[in-house]
């Protein structure tokens, strides 16, 4: 008896496609991620429909019936796509792919449903549900993918060496799915990945990033990074992170393993925020610890300046990894540079002026910086963690307090350059910059409040010191 999922295929798209396929005498199946997610009970917006016959025509007729106006046809690839409500529906002809050792591009030809399932990456991604009227909802599962979902196993349909060598990106996808779904990768697969991890070099960085960012966005990204390290895939595209691995001991003094520390921070951030770039800041916050590491006989291990060097490494890493070089990079760079600042406040005495300076530098990213910094409090010593977290609370409260009182976050000078020029009857000159920065300095230091009257008086005082005369 075959397993049937017709009761789960209630969406009008399936009924319509089924009806039209039957009228045209062709076969159609839902396949891949949508079926997997349906069984797992995970929401999914992409429907892939594989067609034995003319997929373009089936797509067009289905769209008409659903009153969808825009259908994109890719005649060269034999694929079609339309959006229906919040779903993306893609039609593609069943394909057979054969790879030759001397070329990365497969030879693609029309194939059977079985051919199409053979070319899929994992058993859990090769499941198909029939849309044909007589067999509507029947599961076609040649590789026991359903059982692998139940067992939580990532397994390749063919021999792992073949599946991974045909398209080495699949090695990264194995880890991506294992991380997202909290599945185990079967041992045979892991061994195969380790054997050919260096083949990832032939994959474009853009394709790598798509999978890497999905790993980073998972509930517990550390799971993925531990697998990336043990399979040596991480070595291929992220040597700076591999450099964080390891503990050194001199005179009985050891430092912590910065790779595992970074993963702890990343998981802590992931608990609080879904922001990809905040998570990237967690990954990179200690990236310059290896090149700044020193041993001092008196004080032990130090990593002086790792926040500044780390911030300088960010653009280099983003460029090489083809990550965006826009505001997102600047944001990550800023968080890396400032990541020690709140903690320094936690350890010392918290003055209003130190808080104002931090607010002024972090601007609107202050909350994210505090999230990162709080996540950075990790130690085997529970007492220490508790004490730091308590102090951290105090700094957070103080921040709110100062912010309400002084409004420093997006600092706008209460006295403008224009007013300074008018008051002293001068044109643009060096003195204006001096006056403005000294007023700002006094406000941050707390010698005057962030208000017009006080700033005006301060302007007059500094102007007089500089020998400027008030315009009559
Ligand atoms: P999600 O969209 O949730 O990230 P998905 O499984 O739908 O996961 P896609 O990248 O959208 O992943 O791919 C859709 C389907 O196409 C997969 O389920 C799989 O069957 C197949 N597929 C995608 N990429 C590959 C690949 N590199 N090798 C083999 N099959 C692949
Ligand atoms: Mg998908």
CATH of the domain at 13: 3.30.460.10
What length does the chain have? 472
Hey, how many other C-beta atoms are within 10 angstroms of the C-beta on 73?
Answer: 17
Quick one: average pLDDT of 235-259?
96
Mutate to test the pocket of ligand 1, among 33, 122, 170 (most ligand atoms within 8 A of CB): 33
Query: Is pLDDT above 90 for 393?
Result: no
Residue 358 domain-assigned?
Answer: no
Q: Give CA–CA dist 302/294, Å, rounded.
A: 5
Domain count, the chain: 3
Instruction: Please tell me the predicted confidence (pLDDT) of residue 157.
Output: 95
Instruction: Please tell me the predicted confidence (pLDDT) of residue 1.
Output: 54
Average pLDDT, the chain: 94
**Within this chain, do residues 31 and 147 fall inside the same structural domain, yes or no?**
yes
Query: Radius of gyration over alpha carbons of the chain, in Å?
Result: 30
Is residue 120 lining ligand 1, measured as CB closer than 6 Å?
A: yes
**Within this chain, do residues 164 and 108 fall inside the same structural domain, yes or no?**
no
C-alpha torsion sign, points 419, 439, 408, 311: positive
**Within this chain, do residues 174 and 121 fall inside the same structural domain, yes or no?**
no
Instruction: Please tell me the predicted confidence (pLDDT) of residue 403.
Output: 84
**Percent of the chain topping pLDDT 90:** 82
Quick one: average pLDDT of 279-307?
97
Instruction: Please tell me the predicted confidence (pLDDT) of residue 294.
Output: 97
Is residue 117 lining ligand 1, measured as CB closer than 6 Å?
A: no
Hey, how many other C-beta atoms are within 10 angstroms of the C-beta on 393?
Answer: 12
Instruction: Please tell me the predicted confidence (pLDDT) of residue 346.
Output: 73
Residue 456 domain-assigned?
Answer: yes
Asked if 462 and 442 touch (Cβ cutoff 8 Å), the reply is no
| d(CA 36, ligand 1 centre) in Å | 10
Domain boundary among 151, 167, 193: 151
Q: Give CA–CA dist 32/125, Å, rounded.
A: 4
Is residue 393 lining ligand 1, measured as CB closer than 6 Å?
A: no
Query: Is pLDDT above 90 for 390?
Result: no
Q: Give CA–CA dist 32/47, Å, rounded.
A: 8
Structural domain span for residue 207: 153-237
Query: Is pLDDT above 90 for 421?
Result: yes
Residue 384 domain-assigned?
Answer: no
* Beta strand 153-154 pairing with 184-185: parallel
C-alpha torsion sign, points 203, 206, 207, 208: positive
Q: Give the three-state DSSP class for 91.
A: strand
Domain boundary among 192, 221, 237: 237
Is residue 125 lining ligand 1, measured as CB closer than 6 Å?
A: yes
**Within this chain, do residues 145 and 69 fall inside the same structural domain, yes or no?**
yes
Domain boundary among 151, 175, 208: 151
**Within this chain, do residues 124 and 190 fall inside the same structural domain, yes or no?**
no
| d(CA 33, ligand 2 centre) in Å | 5
Asked if 455 and 448 touch (Cβ cutoff 8 Å), the reply is yes
Residue 198 domain-assigned?
Answer: yes
**Within this chain, do residues 170 and 142 fall inside the same structural domain, yes or no?**
no
* Beta strand 139-140 pairing with 128-130: antiparallel
Question: Structure tokens of 459?
Answer: 């302007």
Instruction: Please tell me the predicted confidence (pLDDT) of residue 296.
Output: 94
| d(CA 235, ligand 2 centre) in Å | 27
Quick one: average pLDDT of 321-336?
98
**Within this chain, do residues 74 and 107 fall inside the same structural domain, yes or no?**
yes
Instruction: Please tell me the predicted confidence (pLDDT) of residue 382.
Output: 87
Residue 325 domain-assigned?
Answer: no
**Within this chain, do residues 201 and 72 fall inside the same structural domain, yes or no?**
no
Instruction: Please tell me the predicted confidence (pLDDT) of residue 109.
Output: 86
Token pair 């903690």 is found at: 343
Report which of 123, 208, 218 is spatially closest to residue 172, judged by C-alpha positions.
208
**Within this chain, do residues 24 and 140 fall inside the same structural domain, yes or no?**
yes
CATH number at residue 183: 1.10.110.30
Of the listed ligands, the closest to the CA of 154 is 1
**Within this chain, do residues 207 and 125 fall inside the same structural domain, yes or no?**
no
Backbone angles phi, psi at 157, to 5 degrees: -70, -40
Quick one: average pLDDT of 100-105?
75
Q: Between the ranges 226-235, 375-384, 436-445, where is the mean pLDDT highest?
A: 226-235
Token pair 């653009």 is found at: 315
Which ligand 1 atom minimizes the distance to the CA of 37? 3
């Amino acid at each position: 008896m075959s397993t049937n999922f017709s009761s789960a295929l209630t969406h009008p798209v399936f009924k319509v496609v089924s009806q039209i396929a039957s009228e045209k005498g062709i076969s159609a199946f839902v396949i891949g991620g949508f079926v997997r997610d349906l069984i797992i009970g995970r929401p999914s917006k992409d429907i892939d429909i594989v067609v034995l016959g003319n997929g373009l025509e089936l797509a067009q007729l289905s769209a008409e019936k659903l009153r969808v106006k825009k259908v994109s046809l890719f005649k060269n690839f034999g694929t079609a796509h339309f959006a229906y409500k919040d779903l993306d529906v893609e039609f593609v002809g069943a394909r057979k792919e054969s790879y030759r050792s001397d070329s990365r591009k497969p030879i693609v030809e029309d194939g059977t449903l079985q051919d199409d399932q053979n070319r899929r990456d994992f058993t859990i991604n090769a499941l198909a549900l029939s849309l044909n009227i007589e067999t509507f909802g029947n599961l076609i599962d040649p590789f026991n993918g359903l059982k692998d979902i139940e067992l939580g196993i990532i397994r390749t349909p063919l021999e792992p060496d073949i599946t991974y060598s045909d398209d080495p990106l699949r090695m990264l996808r194995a880890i991506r799915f294992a991380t997202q779904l909290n599945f185990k990768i079967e041992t045979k697969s892991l061994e195969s990945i380790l054997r050919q991890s260096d083949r990832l070099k032939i994959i474009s960085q853009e394709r790598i990033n798509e999978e890497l960012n999905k790993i980073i966005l998972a509930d517990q990204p550390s799971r993925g990074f531990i697998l990336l390290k043990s399979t040596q895939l991480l070595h291929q595209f992220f040597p700076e992170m591999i450099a964080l691995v390891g503990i050194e001991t001199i005179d009985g003094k050891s430092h912590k393993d910065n790779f595992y520390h970074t993963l702890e921070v990343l998981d802590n951030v992931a608990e609080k925020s879904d922001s990809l770039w905040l998570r990237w800041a967690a990954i990179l916050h200690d990236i310059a610890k290896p090149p700044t590491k020193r041993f001092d006989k008196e004080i032990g291990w130090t990593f002086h300046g790792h926040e500044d060097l780390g911030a300088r490494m960010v653009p280099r890493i983003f460029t090489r990894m083809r990550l965006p070089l826009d505001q997102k990079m600047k944001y990550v760079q800023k968080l890396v540079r400032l990541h020690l600042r709140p903690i320094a406040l936690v350890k010392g005495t918290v003055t209003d002026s130190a808080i104002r300076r931090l607010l002024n530098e972090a601007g609107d990213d202050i909350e994210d910086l505090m999230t990162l910094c709080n996540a950075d409090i990790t130690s085997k010593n529970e007492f220490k963690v508790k004490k730091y977290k308590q102090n951290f609370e105090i700094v957070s409260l103080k921040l709110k307090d100062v912010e309400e009182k002084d409004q420093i976050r997006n600092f706008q000078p209460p006295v403008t350059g224009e007013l300074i020029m008018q008051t002293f009857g001068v044109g643009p000159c060096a003195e204006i910059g001096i006056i403005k920065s000294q007023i700002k300095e006094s406000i941050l230091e707390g010698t005057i409040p962030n208000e017009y009257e006080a700033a005006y008086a301060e302007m007059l005082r500094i102007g007089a010191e500089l020998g400027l005369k008030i315009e009559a």
